[in-house]
Amino acid sequence: MAVSRRQLLGAAGLAVATAACGGASKGKGARHVSSSVIRLAEPYGKETLQAGEWFVPDGDGPAPTVVLIHGGFWRKQYDRHLEDQVALDLAEQGFLCWNLDYRSSVVPYPATFDDVAAGYDHLLHGHFGDRVDAERIAVVGHSAGGHLAAWVASRGQLPIGAPGHNPALHLPALAIPQAGVVALTQAADQSLGTGAPQALMDGTPSQHPQRYREGDPVQLLPTGVRTVLVHDAKDDIVPLSQSETYVDAATKASDDSTLAVVPGDHFSHIDPSSAAWARVREALRTL
């Protein structure tokens, strides 16, 4: 994957002001990143990457809540900081954000799925769990994170014993995959990301058909969760056909699923000033 724009956005996210703030109610290590937003990292498991970061708006009561899942073809060199800028943008508009990290595809299957499920289920148990509006939760993911966002929405379809089965928290009200790898088997057949799906699943669809049935969002329909897919028409990393395939299948399964085709490139989706991100904000306002 190209990295120049990602590096720029990531560096900008890490450059967000981090003036220290005290107060036990905010949590040890919490800090202001703007006049109205507090940021706090928190583990949801024992492994280093089993952690997330809260971006918390002013206020005391429950707020519409967004779980952010970063992309990077499930590879270890990418982490949650890709989402820093959009997390801050949403928190400044009153959304409570939980920005997830997870173990990459270098760790044997099903670690990535286990982590994302555990990270999502941690919402109500985290330091700011009392700020979560459990009736207004959205999961938003970019690229590989879009795959995982759609998968989180599909957990109600998973068979007993599958990774992520029996969620501790009810399904989100809305899922927004951004240029997402939402047709995983198709992506593997097309060698998308130079074998990234095969690395995630520790093999091909023919080698592990059950794993793909349990990890491919397009095979886990209907979800009963409203989905808004956002994709740029000329994406040369994750093709538009991924989102088209999902929306077509979801609609046939009677799910409420729509596709917004936006200008820009693959990395516009994590740029708060882009048309792609404006479409995400628009969808989130319907929570």
Residue 142's φ and ψ, nearest 5 degrees, are: -110, 130
* The pair of three-digit structure tokens given for residue 252, joined into one six-digit string: 């046939």
Helices 111-121 and 144-153: angle between axes, nearest 10 degrees: 60
> What is the residue type of 230?
V
CA 215 to chain centre: 15
pLDDT of residue 131: 98
pLDDT tens across the length of the chain (287 residues): 444 454 444 444 543 443 333 333 466 788 888 889 999 999 999 999 999 999 999 999 999 999 999 999 999 999 999 999 999 999 999 999 999 999 999 999 999 999 999 999 999 999 999 999 999 999 999 999 999 999 999 999 999 999 999 999 999 999 999 999 999 999 999 999 999 999 999 999 999 999 999 999 999 999 999 999 999 999 999 999 999 999 999 999 999 999 999 999 999 999 999 999 999 999 999 99
Task: Name the region of 44 (left: φ>0; alpha: ψ -120 to 50; beta: rest).
Answer: alpha
Range of the domain at 67: 4-284
Polymer length in residues for the chain: 287
d(CA 47, CA 235): 34
pLDDT of residue 26: 65
CATH number at residue 46: 3.40.50.1820
Does an H or E element contain 58, and which?
none
Domain total of the chain: 1
